[in-house]
A and B are shown apart, each in its own frame.
Chain A
Amino acid sequence: MTAFVVAAIAMLAALIPLGVVLCRARVMSAVVAYEAVTSVAVLVLMLLAEAFGRPGEFELAAVLAALLLGSGLVFARFLERWR
């Protein structure tokens, strides 16, 4: 088990407090937690791609990073209008 796999597993632990915020906080706090969860997922994909020696899987992280911007803007735009 390389250091990159260990780091990926350790970063997955960060999803626990973020999941608590997602489930229990008010809606805009949940959106903030969702953005943090997506960022952590991008980091985990980067770490696993390097750990398993598959450079092609960095594209998953790049695509998810781009989708992080799009999905976050969609949530922000709709939640500022809808209650």
Chain B
Amino acid sequence: MARAVAVDVLLGLAVVVVLACSAGVLLMRDAYQKVHYVTPISVVAPVLIALAVGVQSGWTISTGQSWLVVAVMVIASPFLAHATVRAIWIREQGGAERATADPAGNGERR
């Protein structure tokens, strides 16, 4: 009984995190603000789901593989967010060549 309640609570929290962050992606103005709402989807929600799988199944192959997925997402998410924000910044600066030639944006060439 307690185990089922714990699973329901963990899954409910994961669903709330995902729905709230998807609303955040919809409502924020620009891509810089939207990026902040992707990280909880790819870091917090997988941890909650893996905890739910662990509570439901105990130490099984399912639990191990779910933590493998969590590890991949936790490692990948910061790199992806950084690369995305860098791409947004370079596009705003007018392209990769200009951003490389003038990193400070003050008209001086490197």
Which A positions have Cβ atoms within 8 angstroms of B?
Answer: 3-4, 6-7, 10-11, 13-18, 20-21, 26, 28-29, 31-33, 35-36, 39-40, 42-43, 46-47, 49-50, 55, 58-59, 61-62, 65-66, 68-69, 72-73, 75-77, 79-81, 83
Instruction: Check A36 against B45 for contact (C-beta < 8 Å).
Output: no
Q: With the chains together, A55 CA to B77 CA distance in Å?
A: 24
Instruction: Check A46 against B15 for contact (C-beta < 8 Å).
Output: no
A40 with B80: in contact, given A3-B7, A58-B66 (CB under 8 Å)? no
Instruction: Check B62 against A55 for contact (C-beta < 8 Å).
Output: yes
Count chain B residues whose beta carbon lies closer than 8 angstroms to a beta carbon of A.
52
Instruction: Check B69 against A29 for contact (C-beta < 8 Å).
Output: no
Listed by A's residue number, 19 A-B pairs whose Cβ atoms lie within 8 Å are A4-B52, A7-B14, A11-B19, A17-B22, A17-B26, A28-B84, A28-B88, A32-B35, A33-B34, A36-B22, A36-B37, A36-B38, A40-B41, A58-B65, A58-B66, A65-B73, A66-B76, A76-B80, A76-B87
Complex interface: chain A residues within 8 A of B7 (CB): 3
